[in-house]
Amino acid sequence: MDNYEATRSAIEAVWRIESPRLIAGLARITGDVGAAEELAQDALVIALEQWPVQGVPDGPGAWLMATAKHRAVDLVRRRARYDRKLQEVGRDMEAQAQTLGEPDVDKMDDHIGDDLLRLIFIACHPILSTGARAALTLRLIGGLTTSEIARAFLVPEPTIAQRIVRAKRALAEAKIPFEIPARGELTGRLRSVLEVIYLVFNEGYSATSGADWTRPELCAEALRLGRVLAGLMPRQIEVHGLVALMELQASRIGARTGPGGEPVLLSDQDRRRWDRLLIRHGLAALDRAEQLGGAPGPYVLQAEIAACHARAASVNDTDWERIAALYVVLAHLTPSPVVELNRAVAVGMAYGPGKGLAIADTLTGEPALAGYVQLPAVRGDLLARLGRPDEARAEFTRAAALTSNERERALFRARAAECRPAGSQDTDP
Amino acid sequence: MRYLMLLSGTNPATPPPPALYEAIMKLGGEATEAGVLLDTAGLLPSAAGARVGLADGKVTVTDGPFTESKELISYALYDVRSREEAIEWASRFVKLHRDLWPGWAGQTDILQVMGPGGGG
C-alpha cells in the first residue's frame, strides 16, 4: 500500500530526527539508557500502528515524546512499587525510589541539551571498547538501526546487535550515572567521545577493508555528530578542532576517487572538485577554535594541517614548511610513529626527498609500524623521487601486499610498474 | 545526502509577523544543532535580479521581475540521511507559515544535490 509505505517512511524520518533527544530525556527519567531506548522504541511502535490509520500528527516529535514520557512514568512507578513490595529497603534504594517515584516530567524539555550531552558521554564511556562505543553512539545519537550500523562497518548484523546489548548491560552493571562528567575527568571523557566520532569518520573516509575506498555516508554521520557536539560544548577548543578536521577532510571526498572508483592521492587530486562549502565550514570551525584561545590539542593541530592543504591552489603552492612544523608540535603532544611518518612526507616536500627519507628510514624497525601500509608507500614515493627505482618498486610491491583494500592495492601495483630503471624515466618536476 | 530546498510563494497583503521570523530562527537553530543545516538565506524579490538566457545561439539578459512564476523566497541546503528526512524538515518550515501567517500560500521544492553521498 503506497500510502502506508509513505507514512512509514515519514515516521522513520521523524524517528531519526527525534530519537536522540527522546532517548536522552527518557534516560534521565529512568536513569538507564537501555530502558530509555526500549521506551522510545515502544513509542515508535505505537506510532507505526496509529499514524498510518489516523494520519501523522502535527507535532510528531512532541507526540512521540508525550507517549514515551507516559510509559516512562508508569515504568518508574511500577519499579518503585515493586521495590517497596520486595522490601529491599536499603536506605539508598528507598531514597532512590522516592526520587524516581515522582519524576519532574515537565522539566524534561528544559534539559534537552544537557540530556543529549549526557547521552553522548555515556555512549562513549571508557569502560566500553571502542567498537562498542561507536556502535552505541551511532545507535543512540545517530538514530541508525542495527542493520545500518552493521552495513556501515561491514560486519554481520548479529555482531552489532550483540555488541549493543552487551554495552548497555555493561553500563547498567557498572551503574554508570547519567551525568556530564565532573570537571576533573571531563578532559579524559571528552577525549573518548572525540575518539569515537573520529573513528566513525575514518571508517568511512578510508575504508580499511572491502571494495570501496570511501563510504561517504558514514563520514556524513560522523560530521553530523561532531556538529551536534560543537553545539552542545561550544567552549571546548578540541571539539571545534575535530569538526574542522572532519569538514576539511570530507571536502576532498569527491576528488579522492577516480571515475573507476580507484583512489586518487592528495597530490593528484583535481582541487576544483573539492567541496568549497565544507572547506568554508571547516575553516570557520578552526577560527572558532582559535578564537577560544588556549593551547591547541591534537585535533586542532591536524585541522591546521588540513587547512594548509585546503588553502593551497596546488601541491606546489602548499605551505609544506608550516605543515612540517605543525607535525613537530603534534609529535610533541601525541608522539607516534604514524605522526613521524607524516612528518617525513611533509619534510620530503618542504626540504627534499632525501631529508624526508632520512626520517622515514628511522621508522623501518618500528614494531608499531610492522605491517603498516603507509610506511612502504611513503618510502616508495621518496625513493622514486630520489631516482632509486629498484628500491622504490620493492617498497610499492610490499605496500600492495600489505593492504586489505582492493582499490589501494591496484594503486600501489600501478606505482610499482611505473618504477623504471634510472635514465629511462621521464623527469619528474 | 544533500538537498537544496527552495521556498516559493505568494505573500498576503499583511506584513510578515515577527513571530514567524522568530519561529523560523528557532527551527533553523534546531536544524543547525542537529548538524543537518549547512546553509540558508532569504532572497530578495526577483525585481532586484536578472536572467541570462540562451536561445538559438543568442545570449540575452532580462531584468527581473520574472512574473511567470511564484517568487522564490529563500533557499536552504540540508545534509540528511534520506529524502523523507528532508521532507520532514521542509514540512516543519511550511507549517510555521500556516500557523503564523494567515493567507500565505506557497511551497518548498526539494532537490537532491549531486555528490559522493549518493545521487552522483
pLDDT digits (tens, 9 = 90+) for B55-91: 999 999 999 888 766 889 999 999 999 999 999 999 9
Section A262-273 average pLDDT: 88
**Rounded mean pLDDT of A70-92?**
69
Confidence bin at A414 (pLDDT 50/70/90) = very high
Using alpha carbons, select from B40, B44, B113, B48 the residue that is nearest to residue B83.
B113
pLDDT of residue A111: 62
> Rounded to the nearest 5°, which phi and psi values hold at A424?
-90, 0
Angle at A230 between CA A199 and CA A170, to 5 degrees: 50
Question: Do A67 and A47 contact (CB within 8 A), yes or no?
Answer: yes
Write out pLDDT tens, residues A22-65.
999 999 888 889 999 999 999 999 998 998 888 888 888 889 98
Reported confidence tier of residue A106, pLDDT bands at 50, 70, 90: very low
Give the residue from chain B lying closest to A141, CA to CA. Answer: B34
Is A88's pLDDT higher than 60? no
Reply yes or no on whether the pLDDT at A206 is more than 80. no
Which of A378, A384, A381 lies closest to A363, judged by CA?
A: A378
Helix or strand (DSSP H, E) at B33: helix B18-33
Rounded to a whole number, what is the largest CA-CA distance in chain A?
A: 90
Is the peptide bond between B102 and the residue preceding it cis, with omega within 30 degrees of 0? no
Q: How many angstroms away from the CA of B56 is the closest CA of chain A?
A: 31
Q: What's the pLDDT tens digit per position in A145-155?
A: 898 888 888 88
Of A10, A13, A228, the CB nearest to B34: A228
The complex's ipTM works out to 0.88
Cell 567552549 belongs to A235
- B95–A contact, CB cutoff 8 A: yes
pLDDT value for A2: 66
Cα separation, A6 vs A191, in Å, equals 41
- As a whole number of angstroms, the distance between CA A47 and CA A56 comes to 8
pLDDT confidence bin for A423, thresholds 50/70/90: low
Q: Which residues of B touch A60 (CB under 8 A)?
A: 88
Above 50 in pLDDT, residue A104?
A: no
Task: For residue A221, count other CB atoms closer than 10 A to its CB.
Answer: 27
Confirm or reject contact between B118 and chain A (CB < 8 A).
Answer: yes
Report chain B's C-alpha Rg in angstroms: 16
The pLDDT score that the predictor gives to residue A102 is 43
- What pLDDT score does A60 carry? 84
> What's the pLDDT score for residue A76?
77
Nearest to A220 among B33, B39, B117 (CB): B117
Q: What share of chain B is helix, strand, coil (3-state, %, to 5)?
A: 30, 35, 30
